[in-house]
Amino acid sequence: MGSPPDGMMGFGEVAVVIVPGSVSERWWGRPPYRNDRVQSRFFAVATAAFENSLDIPSASQYAALPASSNRRGTKHAMKIHEYQAKSLLAKFGLPVPMGIPVLEPSKAAAAAEQIIQATQNQTVVVKAQIHAGGRGKGGGVKVVKGLAAARETAAKIYGHKLVTHQTGPEGRIVKRLLIEQGVAIASELYASVLVDRAKSRVVVMASAAGGVEIEEVAAKTPEAILLEHVEPTVGFRPYQARNLAYALGLRGEVAKNMVPFLLKLYEAFVALDASLVEINPLVVTTDNRVLALDCKMTFDDNAVDKHKEVVEMRDLDEEDPTETEAHAFDLSYIKLDGSIGCMVNGAGLAMATMDIIKYYGGNPANFLDVGGGASQEKVTAAFKILTADPAVKGIFVNIFGGIMKCDVIAAGVIAAVAEIGLRVPLVVRLAGTNVELGAKMLAESGLPITAASDMADGARKVVDLASGKRN
Ligand code: GDP
Ligand code: MN
């Protein structure tokens, strides 16, 4: 087993080496510039060299990774509720059913009454608002007739636990409802706008197989998914929308309504800096209209602050509390389901650290990038977040001090341990700016810290210690 070239792995902006089939590749996706001949040559060479030196396991071995390690996106993408997403769609002129959000159970009946009055139609839909899909199958979407039934159904859903295949077995308590007008559905389609990382393009996706999980459609009948990639300099063109409408099998009035729907959907995606806008089902009504019956929207965390109205839609009840706290300290933290807590500076080094932990037989409990110029307070907060996770059986601090100084890291770790103690083994590897000072501070702190000479040494030690083995 070759020893990995310590320090060559992506500190800061220099180079992020993405190993095919590795955690980092699953995370970032393929390098977006791989179509560029020069870049891809560089990548091919660098990747091969890196892989050989690491004697890295094959991609298939990584296929057994837990789904949560497979999350894509640089940070977690902010989610909003269906009713909020629909209010945004409406601002872009997209047709949505009439609906009223209900944030207190006592207001559900009044909302239903108002909708029945306005539509002169007894059919209303009671929809649980949680940040997870699959609500229909889980019993969180009910089509009912009349005020009494609406009131009864709302009471059954509100405040109760809803389990869907996306919530996991623990489910979610429903704290918000959407009461909507009932719609006479002729057919259920699918449409979405998202980023195709492999092609470095926004893609508008559509399918006539709506109302079911798109992942399922993609797996069983990939030909049922229609794609139009968008050339960024010209945007999504009307002819592309017509292509999709036609390929969906729509004709006449319905096709005429679908084209502007898709164009506006793209417009909303771009204007809102969304990372996903998904309409499932996108319905055709019996009177030939097209309507967004459901909407899932997520946002690029790096751009969401530009959109105050979106930021205000954040529902902390629906977010992982540690991720929320990390967000407050401007830390890039994503919880994973392993047992090795990682504190690293720089996203590239954080990725490489996760890979090397995996390589030595461990599983990372998180992705955590404390960033370049983190303060002592930030490091302390980060360390506390790691320690608070009961799944963490060992912590690996892996810092390459560039802009970040090793003594600041040491001070942050010492302060955190002084405040909350240390209940698991801690392995620290420091290199770079002020490394001697940092090492001295840690040594003099009297904390039971295992020092590591390099990244591989640290990863091996923390995996051993966390599994109860001695070094
Ligand atoms: P999801 O299961 O979390 O994706 O929730 P959806 O909002 O997609 O609702 C699930 C299903 O409920 C849809 O696919 C529709 O079949 C059905 N549904 C939702 N609203 C209505 C409606 O107004 N009328 C009818 N007939 N069915 C509806
Ligand atoms: Mn849906």
Residue with CA at minimum distance from ligand 1 atom 11: 136
Residue 465 CB coordination number (10 Å): 22
Q: Which residue would you say has higher pLDDT here, 42 or 207?
A: 207
pLDDT of residue 256: 98
CB distance 136 to ligand 1 below 6 Å: yes
Residue with CA at minimum distance from ligand 1 atom 8: 294
Of the chain, the percentage scoring pLDDT greater than 70 comes to 83
Q: Which ligand is nearest to the CA of 210?
A: 1
In angstroms, rounded to a whole number, what is the distance separating the alpha carbons of residues 219 and 140?
Answer: 25
Pocket test for ligand 1, best of 122, 176, 185 (most atoms within 8 A of CB): 185
Residue with CA at minimum distance from ligand 1 atom 9: 136
- For helices 108-119 and 147-157, what crossing angle results, to 10°? 140
pLDDT of residue 470: 56
Q: Is the pLDDT of residue 468 over 90?
A: no
Q: Which ligand is nearest to the CA of 280?
A: 2
Residues near ion ligand 2 (CB < 5 Å) are 280, 294
Q: Which residue would you say has higher pLDDT here, 470 or 400?
A: 400
Give the mean pLDDT of 441-449: 92
In angstroms, rounded to a whole number, what is the distance separating the alpha carbons of residues 334 and 316?
Answer: 15
Is residue 190 part of the annotated active site? The answer reads yes
CB distance 134 to ligand 1 below 6 Å: yes
Query: Which stretch of 120-124, 221-225, 238-242, 368-372 has the lowest confidence by average pLDDT?
Result: 368-372
Distance in Å, CA 138 to ligand 2 centroid: 12
CB distance 211 to ligand 1 below 6 Å: yes
* Cα separations in angstroms, 360 against 47, 55, 149, 282, 350: 19, 12, 58, 47, 16
The confidence band for 34, taking pLDDT boundaries of 50, 70 and 90, is: very low
282 strand-pairing partners: 189, 292
Distance in Å, CA 136 to ligand 2 centroid: 7
pLDDT of residue 170: 86
pLDDT of residue 335: 87
CB distance 9 to ligand 1 below 6 Å: no
Q: Which of 62, 83, 190, 266 is catalytic?
A: 190
Tens of pLDDT, residues 125-180: 999 999 999 999 999 999 999 999 999 999 999 999 999 998 888 899 999 999 99
Instruction: Give 383-448 as a DSSP string.
Output: HHHHHH-TT--EEEEEEEESSS-HHHHHHHHHHHHHHH---S-EEEEEEETTHHHHHHHHHHTT--
pLDDT of residue 45: 36
Give the mean pLDDT of 11-16: 36
In angstroms, rounded to a whole number, what is the distance separating the alpha carbons of residues 190 and 205?
Answer: 8
pLDDT of residue 346: 87
pLDDT of residue 208: 96
Where is mean pLDDT largest: 13-27, 107-121, 322-336, 425-439?
Answer: 107-121
Tens of pLDDT, residues 251-289: 999 999 999 999 999 999 999 999 999 999 999 999 999
Q: Which ligand is nearest to the CA of 135?
A: 1
Give the mean pLDDT of 425-436: 93
pLDDT of residue 337: 86
Atom of ligand 1 nearest to the CA of 180: 23
CB distance 185 to ligand 1 below 6 Å: yes
Q: Mean pLDDT over all residues of the chain?
A: 84
In angstroms, rounded to a whole number, what is the distance separating the alpha carbons of residues 293 and 180?
Answer: 10
Closest CA to 377 of 345, 403, 416: 416
Structure-token match 């977010």, residue found = 319
The confidence band for 53, taking pLDDT boundaries of 50, 70 and 90, is: very low
Give the mean pLDDT of 388-402: 92
Q: Which residue would you say has higher pLDDT here, 29 or 322?
A: 322
The confidence band for 302, taking pLDDT boundaries of 50, 70 and 90, is: confident
Atom of ligand 1 nearest to the CA of 136: 2
Distance in Å, CA 278 to ligand 1 centroid: 14
pLDDT of residue 4: 45
Global pTM value: 0.71
The confidence band for 30, taking pLDDT boundaries of 50, 70 and 90, is: very low
